Amino acid sequence: MKRPNQLFRNLSAKIAAIPMIVTGLFVFVGGTVWTVVYSFTKSGLLPRLKWVGLDQYERLWSTKRWLVSIENLAIYGISMLVLVFVIGFILATLIDQKVRFENAFRTIILYPFALSFVVTGLVWQWILNPEFGIQSIVRDLGWKSFTFDPLYTPEIAIYGVLIAGLWQGSGLVMVLMLAGLRGIDQDIWKAARVDGIPAWKTYLFIVIPMMRPVFITTLVLVVSGIVKLYDLIVAQTGGGPGIATEVPAKYVYDMMFAASNLGQGFAASTMMLVTVALIVIPWAMLEFGGKKNG
């Protein structure tokens, strides 16, 4: 019997996938290659092929604002990642204790996620404003020397942004974690109780390892949110005070559109891509490559 041609197997599915494949190739891969190529040129307001070698990269890495941006993203990224998981998981376990009005609590905690980063940024800009935010309320209560104005202190301004980011993002992590916890078979809890294992140990050593898929989904969502951090900064601080809360994505945007220096913007976005690739590729190899051996 003649074997059917491999090419025509699942033909309808393949045809249906063509638009997505084309989009993927041209828009994502093509756009990426184009950006990288033009990052070696002296493009100003408009792209033009005037080669300057590594000049754009040399300038990028000698620019203080870029270095501050990278540092801020690292501080924000690591703190966000750790705290959002800890807070999200703790909230989820608390809600999981079969509390009354669970729906109400869940809605309240998830609600900030329904707001855009722009709204979040503005709200927290007001809350952290020393003249009519937390500081003034506490001072009105009697603590005259109380000072809490992170957004006006360059050294800690990025943590002011972090607070807003956590407020907005924790709800989502909590809901995902809660879904994961509810997916754990009740029999496991019963077995653990029979063995006399305390609840916190059960969570830490039995439940969390079982929730691995949920953790990975959440990780991808949170990390992609961190790398593209832009709108929160623009709404909350505008990169200030000074350059204290600048982030790479904002540097790219400002170079491309405010400074009309596309080459510099492309160089910066290429560096962002390289950084993400450096983190994602080893992780993906561990995650997906290891299975063949194991």
Residues of this chain that bind another protein (CB under 8 A): 44-46, 59, 64-65, 129-131, 152, 154, 238-244, 253-255, 257-261, 264
Looking at beta carbons only, is 54 or 199 nearer to another protein? 54
Q: Which residues contact 61 (CB under 8 A, 6 or more apart)?
A: 67
**Stated length of the chain:** 294
- Of 151 and 222, the one with the shorter C-beta distance to another protein is 151
Q: How far is the CB of 203 from another protein (least distance, A)?
A: 44
Minimal distance, residue 255 CB to another protein, in Å: 8
Backbone phi and psi for residue 164, each to the nearest 5 degrees, phi listed first: -65, -40
Query: Is 116 within 8 Å of 236 (Cβ atoms)?
Result: no
**Count of C-beta atoms within a 10 Å radius of residue 223:** 17
Quick check: 226 and 166 in contact, CB under 8 A?
no
Question: Minimal CA–CA distance to 117: which of 225, 221, 231?
Answer: 231
Q: Least CB distance from residue 246 to another protein, whole Å?
A: 9
Q: Measured from the CB atom, is 225 or 265 closer to another protein?
A: 265
Closest contact distance (angstroms) between CB of 257 and another protein is 3
Residues 56, 39 contacting (CB under 8 angstroms): yes
Count of C-beta atoms within a 10 Å radius of residue 174: 25
Our CB check for another protein shows the closer of 214 and 233 to be 233
Of 81, 84, 82, 110, the C-alpha closest to 95 is 110
Residue number with CB closer to another protein (202 or 264): 264
Closer by beta carbon to another protein, 168 or else 261? 261
In the bound complex, what is the minimum distance in angstroms from residue 51's beta carbon to another protein? Answer: 17
Residue 267 Cβ, how far from another protein at the closest point, in Å?
Answer: 13
d(CA 75, CA 81): 10
Q: Is 183 helix (H, G, I), strand (E, B) or coil?
A: coil
